Amino acid sequence: MGYVAWVLNLSAAQQRLESLATVASSRANNTFHEAAGVLKTVAASNLAPCTPESIDEMRLLTINTFSVKSIGYVEEDIYACSSWGAVGHRVTPWKEDFITSDGVRVSLGVQARIVPAKPMMALQYAAFNVLIDPEQFLQVMVEDDVHLLVGTAAGHLVGASRPGAERFMSRVHFGSDSALEDGYLYTLVHSGDWVAIAAVSRQELLQGLIRREMLLLPIGGLLAGMLVLLIIRRARKRLSPLAELELAVRNREFIVHYQPIVDMSDGACVGAEALVRWRRPDGSLVPPDSFIPLAEQSGLILPITDQVIDNVMQELGPLLVKDRSLHVAINLAAADVSSGRFLPWLEATRRQADVWPSQIWLEVTERGFLKIDAARSTINRARELGYLAAIDDFGTGFSSLQHVQKLPLDVLKIDKSFVDAIDPCSEAGSVTEHIIEMAKSLRLRLVAEGVETEAQLDYLRGHGVQFGQGWLFARPMPASKFLGFVQEHAVVVAPVDHALECS
């Protein structure tokens, strides 16, 4: 509001100064033209100069012209006569300050005998002259706080409303016609050969500002209050989580990070698991655990899976084509597997990217409710097309054994909880060991999830688990980084064969 008040104040002051200067400059121009007209009338008269008839004519013109104090005739430096009678004394020629475009010679500050009290302005044309009271040029009502001055376009001062205003005349020689400089706000207006300058000091402007601010403060308070109310209403109207998720699906806000999967026997990177993230418009990344359950409940998981497939093919397609030994694992929700809806879309995008189906592993999670018959039919169709099927989070569901028995599988992913439970020093066979043995007997490929320590790596390798995934090797990363990772880490972990040291 303070700023608004200052801007308003400045623009109001500028308008006031401009209209003052406009009136003053056009009045100066009119006064001058009136006097110059008189001068030219007498110069063009048929009467012989200084005859009684000519003096009568000059007197009549003086009386009828408000700004003209006298008309005179000078011949060979002799002031022969004036509108007030014959004179006949010698005069020193007046110094000409400038000549107007129509040939009128102008002298400022002339000391004339007829009005000895104050300097006059003299206009001369041929042998005739007129005297003008310079005050006539400033016949404008001026408020106390304003400096008003009138001068010639060349920078000669003719008159000022207040003493000490001469210094403003130099503005004529500067660039802009309006400026806030040196503690003053100026406005300069030209009219013909004349210019008027109006100025007001910054201090006086500030006083005006305080008055205006007093007026605007309550309005400012009111506006601020309304803004706060608006923000509160907006905040209350925030979208529900489901509506937000719907919007995110519509705006395709899902991106994919890739976590490398390595061959633990030689440390080579053999592929990646695609892990979805929700990138909000503000740039923040929401982890899948925060929105997948709602997406599964609401059915929004189906379009999200499609977006993941699109991203994977677009980002990893060229790499998978270049290196046919690499694969990418895509997570499917129970709804995807039961409905099989994703499969035609996956087929189409995969073909377009020229990726082989054997390069794609479909991860079917044990978590959530899986309709076993529908799942089996989808997995069968997918495997017939050449895709590989993996059971994810194995051992965490209610019917793990049933799943491995009834579902046609290629890969088993050992859940992180079993990897965490590895105790290299335990003599007794652990659950992890049983899972590994069972997978081997079913001829399933094994991937251990969440490998974080060297000890876990050693144990898993020692038990013949071929593939591993975990922070020990790499965290999930954007596609651009993963491409670099594959190049740099053709071998991630050097194969070591050392015995576990147990205390």
CB of residue 415 to Ca ion, shortest distance in Å: 6
How many residues interact with Ca ion (rule CB under 5 A)?
Answer: 5
Based on the shown chain and the rule CB under 5 A, indicate whether residue 392 belongs to the binding site for Ca ion. Answer: yes
Stretch of residues binding ligand C2E (CB under 6 A), selected from 195-203, 226-234, 381-389, 463-471: 463-471
Judged by beta carbon, residue 21 or residue 261, the one nearer ligand C2E is 261
φ and ψ at residue 213, rounded to 5 degrees: -60, -40
CA 68 – CA 48 distance, rounded (Å): 21
Which residue stretch of 26-34, 59-67, 217-225, 390-398 sits at the interface with Ca ion (rule: CB under 5 A)?
Answer: 390-398
* Token representation of residue 184: 């003053």
Residue 269 in tokens: 């990177």
Q: Return the number of the residue (253 or 393) whose C-beta is nearest Ca ion.
A: 393
Spatial distance between the Cα atoms of 377 and 337, rounded to a whole number of angstroms:
9
> Per CB under 5 A, which region of 42-50, 196-204, 316-324, 446-454 contacts Ca ion?
446-454
Among 450, 468, 482, 486, binds ligand C2E (CB under 6 A): 450
Distance of closest approach, residue 357 Cβ to ligand C2E, in angstroms: 18
**Which residue, chain included where needed, has tokens 């056009």?**
26
Rg of the Cα atoms in the chain: 49
Which residues, 323 to 342, sit near Ca ion by CB under 5 A? 331
363 near Ca ion (CB under 5 A): yes
> Counting contacts by CB under 6 A, is residue 189 touching ligand C2E?
no
Residues sharing a CB contact under 8 Å with residue 209, sequence separation 6 or more, in sequence order:
5, 6, 9
Both tokens of 340, joined, read 């099989």
Q: Least separation, in Å, of the C-beta of 449 and ligand C2E?
A: 6
CB of 258 to ligand C2E, least distance (A): 10
- 393 near ligand C2E (CB under 6 A): yes
Among Ca ion, ligand C2E, none, the one that 395 touches (CB under a kind-dependent 5 to 8 A) is none
CA dist., res. 48 & res. 459, Å (int): 134
Residue 445 near residue 411, CB atoms below 8 Å = yes
Residue 267 interacting entry, from ligand C2E, Ca ion, none, C-beta within 5 to 8 Å by type = none
Site for ligand C2E in 293-352 (CB under 6 A): 301, 308, 331-333
Query: How far apart (Å, rounded) are the C-alpha atoms in residues 133 and 360?
Result: 102
Choosing from 13, 38, 131, 275, the residue that interacts with ligand C2E (CB under 6 A) is: 275
Closest CA to 108 of 189, 164, 23, 166: 166
The least CB distance from residue 230 to ligand C2E, in Å, is 37
Which of 144, 289, 427, 497 touches ligand C2E by CB under 6 A?
289
Q: What are the strands of the beta sheet with 178-181, ordered from one edge?
A: 157-160, 146-152, 194-201, 184-191, 178-181
- Scanning 367-453, the segments in alpha helix (DSSP H) are 372-385, 400-406, 416-420, 431-441
- 420 touches ligand C2E by CB under 6 A: no
**Closer to Ca ion at the Cβ: 355 or 390?**
390
Query: Using CA atoms, how far apart are residues 82 and 120, in angstroms rounded to an integer?
Result: 15
Contact between 77 and 90 (Cβ < 8 Å)? yes
Give residues with Cβ within 8 angstroms of 342, minimum separation 6: 302, 305, 306, 309, 332, 336
Q: Which of 392, 457, 458, 467 binds ligand C2E (CB under 6 A)?
A: 392
Buried b (16+ CB within 10 A) or exposed e, 320-348: beeeeebbbbbbbbbbbbbebbbbeebbe
Let me know: does 81 contact 72? Beta carbons within 8 Å: yes
Instruction: Draw the binding track, 3-42, toward ligand C2E (x: CB under 6 A; -: no contact).
Output: ----------------------------------------
- Mark 162-181 with x for binding to ligand C2E (rule: CB under 6 A) and - for no binding: --------------------
If the CB atoms of residues 157 and 451 are measured against Ca ion, the closer one turns out to be 451
The residues that touch ligand C2E, with contacts defined as CB under 6 A, are 259, 275-276, 287-289, 292, 301, 308, 331-333, 365, 392-393, 449-450, 452, 469-471, 476
The residues that touch Ca ion, with contacts defined as CB under 5 A, are 331, 363, 392-393, 449
